[in-house]
Amino acid sequence: MTAPRLWAALAAVLALGLVGTGVELLLIEHHEDETQLLPLLAIGLTLAALTWHARAPRRASRRSLQVVLCAQVATGLAGVVVHARANAEFQRELDPSLEGWRLWRKTLQAKAPPALAPGVLAQLGLVGLIYAARPTAEDTRS
């Protein structure tokens, strides 16, 4: 497989992951309040920037893509924290004696909200940052 095909495949994997995650969030109605809209916003912005960069691979489009990908990574990591805190509070309500490792194990095993699920946004963001590192025609002229 040639390098251009590998870059295209990486972009396709990123786009499919973003669309799949967005569809899943919509199906589970992950839009009850403004905070829950953040991952959908991050996905939409990333798809727009990815499309722009794929069609016009220039420094400006790459920089925009990198910025939204960094925001997506941050959104994913923040989502893990928000989900984990919500789960920890719920577990403490069920059993106030829980603490330490027992509390965190129960927190991470909870199914609603899945504590580590937002991490997929961070992973996709990192994949995107790898894609955004590909050289453009402008890079080879400099």
- Give the mean pLDDT of 63-84: 97
Asked if residues 90 and 30 have their Cβ atoms less than 8 Å apart, the reply is: no
- Give the mean pLDDT of 89-117: 93
- Give the mean pLDDT of 87-104: 94
Half-sphere exposure of 9 (CA within 13 A, CB side): 6
pLDDT at site 1: 73
Q: What gap in Å lies between CA 14 and CA 8, rounded to an integer?
A: 10
- Give the mean pLDDT of 28-45: 95
pLDDT at site 25: 97
- Give the mean pLDDT of 92-103: 94
Crossing angle for the helix pair 119-132 and 59-94, to the nearest 10 degrees = 160
pLDDT for 86 beyond 70 = yes
Backbone CA torsion sign across 50, 16, 39, 92: negative
Asked if residues 87 and 110 have their Cβ atoms less than 8 Å apart, the reply is: yes
pTM of the model: 0.89
Q: What gap in Å lies between CA 66 and CA 130, rounded to an integer?
A: 10
pLDDT at site 112: 85
% of the chain with per-residue pLDDT over 90:
87
pLDDT at site 91: 94
pLDDT at site 71: 97
The CA-CA-CA angle for residues 90, 92, 97, to 5°, reads 160
- Give the mean pLDDT of 79-102: 95
